[in-house]
Amino acid sequence: MNSSSDANQSGSPSFCLLGSMGYSHSMDTCVLEVVVILFLTVLIIAGNLVVIFVFHCAPLLHHHTTSHFIQTMAYADLLVGVSCLVPSMSLLHYLRGLNEELTCKGFGYMVSVLKSVSMASLACISVDRYIAVTRPLSYTTLVTPCRLRVCIVLIWVYSALIFLPSFFRWGKPGYHGDIFKWCALSWKTNPAFSTFIVALLYAPAALTVCFTYGSIFRICRQHTREISQRQARFSPQTEGDKGERGERCEGCPDKRYAMVLFRITSVFYVLWMPYILYFLLESAGLYHHEVASFLTTWLAISNSFCNCLIYSLSNSVFRKGLGRLFSPLFPSCLGCTEAKKDGCHV
């Protein structure tokens, strides 16, 4: 069982998933794999540390209950980045003393659980926004801090349990550990386990997101149309313009915030869809390729960095918190920004 790890420790050539691409091995190291994984590891850890610190520096971000789920995603993604140090150190031959089977199983299980937390959190965010739009008057009684905490705990417990059968040789949860030779060659996927994961995680989360955001944007379009028609029919021109601006501006923050969340969810599924499709095809025995496995897996993992990027580009409150976080490093830039704000308020 441990023959592959013993072979690696005895000085045999490194096992490289991208070796079929024909590049030469420099210093007995899988150069492409090391570069890709280390680059993503640094981005993921740095990006999510920024998200976590900004949430602590920007109290306005806590006005939405979804901030609890977003912070949960940030902590899960940060742990993904930290766990990615395991394959990086393995490729650089710093983990030769560890049991390869146990290491690759533990790493694959951990990353699968953490990404499941992100996926379930996105589904919960969409449900939260759906309740806020469809039941605004009873929202505060339905979504309480206690229920939010219980929901977050259930997300972690459910994610940990759903992948637990992989430790009992029922199947392989993913290809995250395939940089280890034992995981790539000896740990096979199981069609029944893959169907189990899709049916209990991937499909429910995707259907929930599609239904809730589809309903939210349909309701928003309907409300916008009704407001425009009412202002055109019953209000004088001047008062109508003021009222229309007021009513539209009242809904602007929620609409913009919903769009930010929708972008995060869309990017998540765009980056994960190739991995899910390959997971299904490979489990069914229809297609198998080591390069496709590596690329789809680490494309999906790269999503752990994207939330920070989307927030910084889409959310003005997040940008303000980001500026406050880095203000000690760039005081002159902060002074220029405040001067512009003062000029705008004049």
pLDDT of 243? 46
Crossing angle of helices 100-134/237-283, nearest 10°? Answer: 150
Mean pLDDT in residue range 223-234: 74
Residue 6 falls inside a structural domain? no
Residue 114 falls inside a structural domain? yes
**What is the pLDDT confidence band of residue 153, given thresholds at 50, 70 and 90?**
very high
pLDDT of 332? 54
Tens digits of per-residue pLDDT, 234-249?
765 544 444 444 444 4
- Average pLDDT value for the chain: 77
**What would the 3-class secondary structure string for 144-192 be?**
CHHHHHHHHHHHHHHHHHHCHHHHHCCCCCCCCCCCCHHHHHCCCCCHH
Q: Of residues 131 and 65, which shows the higher confidence score?
A: 131
Tens digits of per-residue pLDDT, 155-202?
999 999 999 988 887 888 887 777 778 887 888 888 888 889 989 998
Task: Give the chain's domain count.
Answer: 1
Contact (CB, 8 A) for 284 and 191: yes
Residue 11 falls inside a structural domain? no
Q: What percent of the chain has pLDDT over 90?
A: 14
Residue 238 falls inside a structural domain? no
Mean pLDDT in residue range 254-265: 71
Mean pLDDT in residue range 17-26: 54
Range of the domain at 104: 26-229+253-322
Residues 6+ apart with CB under 8 A from 96: 8, 9
- How many CB atoms are closer than 10 A to CB 52? 16
pLDDT of 31? 77
Residue 86 falls inside a structural domain? yes
- How many CB atoms are closer than 10 A to CB 73? 25
pLDDT of 230? 76
CB-side neighbour CA atoms (13 Å) of 310 = 20
**What is the pLDDT confidence band of residue 213, given thresholds at 50, 70 and 90?**
confident
Residue 239 falls inside a structural domain? no
> Which CATH number fits the domain that encloses residue 158?
1.20.1070.10
Residue 343 falls inside a structural domain? no
Q: Of residues 10 and 100, which shows the higher confidence score?
A: 100
**What is the pLDDT confidence band of residue 342, given thresholds at 50, 70 and 90?**
very low
Instruction: Name the range with the highest mean pLDDT among 64-68, 138-142, 226-230.
Output: 138-142
**If DSSP codes are grouped into helix, strand and coil, which group holds residue 9?**
helix
Residue 15 falls inside a structural domain? no
Tens digits of per-residue pLDDT, 22-74?
554 444 557 788 888 889 999 999 989 988 888 877 766 666 777 888 889 88
